Structure 1
Amino acid sequence: MENTLIYDLDLHFEHKQWERELEFWKDELKTFKNRLSELIGRYEDQKVLAKLEHYQNEFILHEGVINDLKETIEEHESNMAEHSKVGEEALDVSLVEKHVKFRKKMEAQRQIYAELKKDFFEFLTEYWT
């Protein structure tokens, strides 16, 4: 990677993709929370209520992760803007390495979120009657 020239425009494009994805996740989480609210009033069984609380906590945690990811993207965008102000359209190796690490973090988070959704839908199938 040390001989490769990476332009901030290329990374900016990926940032925008990630931001849209994160916004979609936030919207989905709102819908999932609404489902939880509907179910809370239907059940008194402690086992079911414990599962509802588990998902509520997971959704809250995931919202925090989304916010952290968005903040990291904003910081990187700000850093790229500073480079651009001084006429540097290509980023140094350390910034590109951070971007690549963040890409891996996004990929991991996609898997975590997909598993959470899968589990939640299985739960809904079991108790949403």
Structure 2
Amino acid sequence: MSDSIALVQRYYDAFNRADWDAMLACLGDDVAHDINQGHREIGRDTFRGFLARMNRCYHEQLHDIVLMVHADGGRVAAEYVVHGEYLADDAGLPPARGQRYVLPGGAFFDIRDGRIVRVTNYYNLQDWITQVTGA
């Protein structure tokens, strides 16, 4: 159990440092990434592309991270608060003007052979849209 918690903590520590290589090192080659209210992407290289888009469009830090693990260590859940800034337009979303936002989020992980093999992210997209549009 503690190895799985340490792995996900390393993943989030790397995220908060914007150390994409260290984040990717936590993932299995065939990682499944379930994008919030979107589709599933497969593979570490595809995840690298996702991180590049995120890095271009957003600057985010995760605070108050709480990790919970299943007794067998195979699954981890995370809850956190996203503090972010919307830097550049992201496809299908409102225009970016440097808007700041704070919203709760969560993620679910499957762990196999010391690597993350599934990441499912969730946050309230409507709350985010309301914050960045001022509606």
Q: TM-score scaled by structure 2?
A: 0.27
* Structure showing the higher strand proportion among its residues: 2
Q: TM-score scaled by structure 1?
A: 0.28
Q: Which has the higher contact order (CA 8 A, sep 6+)?
A: 1
**Structure ID, larger Rg:** 1
